[in-house]
Amino acid sequence: MDRQLRQVVRECSEISDRGAENFAQIVGRLIAAGVERYHADLLRAEKIYYWPDGTSEQIANAPVAGAVAADFSASAVEAAVRAAQAGRIKYTEFCERVLAAGCVGYHVHIAGQRVVYYGRSGDSHVEWFPGARA
């Protein structure tokens, strides 16, 4: 994999952790780098970025404070998404809120324009990108 592409995803992870850019801005960077999808594991504090050719890059992230709830709350995940979209919270607080809602990770499907949040038992909640059709 190209060294420059690795650097882009590393920067995207760091920018997210700092809350310097919002989700749409990060996704725009990833699209430009040819990223197809990525997975965020909130408990392991890492993301894995995937390209269409099958290559991937794993990046460590800042650990998320707090404990994961035993039960998954789709409505609490949705509320955290809306707060982030409205700019009321940054990525760190978003991660803390979804963790408290029982979310252990999420998959961002750039081509499919959706994010799938999931809990310990496989419960999930799908959020479409703003403007995407469900």
CATH of the domain at 41: 3.30.1810.10
The reply to whether 11 falls in a domain is yes
The reply to whether 46 falls in a domain is yes
* Domain enclosing residue 16, as ranges: 3-128
The reply to whether 65 falls in a domain is yes
CA nearest to 22, candidates 101, 115, 88: 88
pTM for the model: 0.93
The total of structural domains in the chain comes to 1
Average pLDDT, the chain: 94
Please give the Cα distance from 24 to 129 (Å, whole number). Answer: 9
The reply to whether 22 falls in a domain is yes
Residue with the bigger pLDDT between 2 and 44: it is 44
> For 57-107, what is each residue's pLDDT tens digit?
999 999 999 999 999 999 999 999 999 999 999 999 999 999 999 999 999
Which residues are CB-contacts of 99 (< 8 A; sequence separation ≥ 6)?
Answer: 42, 64, 66, 67, 68, 69
The reply to whether 37 falls in a domain is yes
**pLDDT band at 52; cut points 50, 70, 90:** very high
* CA 133 to chain centroid: 19
